[in-house]
């Protein structure tokens, strides 16, 4: 086993955030979505980056793509997981007017970007979303996708 690697060859793992091209995935644009959060893949290989980060080559069989993932981007495939419609950096659109103290701060149809996903909120998944007026905690039921797709789907 390499360093203090948590996973070994053949282990089933789930990616817990969207994996985008950091410029090292050939044939794809930097920032392009490679793997959606929640997908399960299998560890093919592992290595070290900057002498202190374990990087796993994970084969996502259902989309036939091998992607390098940092350990903090993975959990065991059988670990508890709460599905969410969106992830960090996803572009979203408000489906309801958002108000603070009775004043509308985000209109219906306004677009924003997800900066954090809160999967363990008592009433379901909540997102911290950056809109023009600021960052707001928004329930999943008040958002819709805005240009959200995985390359190749």
pLDDT tens profile 48-89:
777 677 889 999 999 999 999 888 889 999 998 888 888 888
- 19: which strand partners? 35
Number of domains in the chain: 2
pLDDT of residue 63: 92
70 and 25 in a common domain:
yes
Instruction: Please report where in the chains the tokens 């900057």 appear, as a residue.
Output: 50
- Picking from 76, 99, 128, the residue at the C-terminal end of a domain is 76
56 and 104 in a common domain:
no
Q: List, in order, residues 6 or more apart from 80 with CB less than 8 Å away.
A: none
Q: Which domain holds residue 136?
A: 91-145
pLDDT of residue 81: 87
95 and 58 in a common domain:
no
β-pairing verdict for 103-106 and 98-100: antiparallel
Global model pTM greater than 0.75: no
pLDDT of residue 102: 92
pLDDT of residue 129: 96
For the chain, the maximum distance between any two Cα atoms, rounded to a whole number of angstroms, is: 57
Listed residue (98, 86, 99) closest to 125, CA to CA: 86
Q: In the chain, which residues have pLDDT < 70? A: 1-3, 51, 147-153
What's the Rg (C-alpha) of the chain? 17
């Amino acid at each position: 086993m390499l360093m203090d690697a948590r996973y070994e060859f053949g282990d089933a793992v789930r990616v817990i955030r969207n994996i985008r091209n950091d410029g090292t995935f050939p044939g794809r644009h930097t920032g392009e979505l490679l793997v959606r959060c929640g997908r399960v893949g299998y560890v093919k290989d592992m290595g070290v980056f900057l002498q202190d980060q374990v990087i796993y080559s994970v084969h996502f069989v259902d989309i036939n793509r091998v992607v390098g993932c940092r350990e903090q981007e993975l959990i065991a495939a059988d670990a508890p997981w709460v599905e969410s419609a969106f992830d960090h950096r996803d572009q979203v659109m408000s489906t309801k007017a958002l108000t603070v103290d009775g004043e509308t701060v985000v209109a219906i149809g306004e677009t924003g970007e997800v900066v954090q996903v809160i999967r363990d909120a008592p009433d379901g998944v909540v997102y911290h979303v950056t809109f023009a007026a600021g960052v707001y905690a928004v329930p999943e039921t008040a958002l819709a996708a805005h240009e959200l797709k995985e390359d190749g789907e």
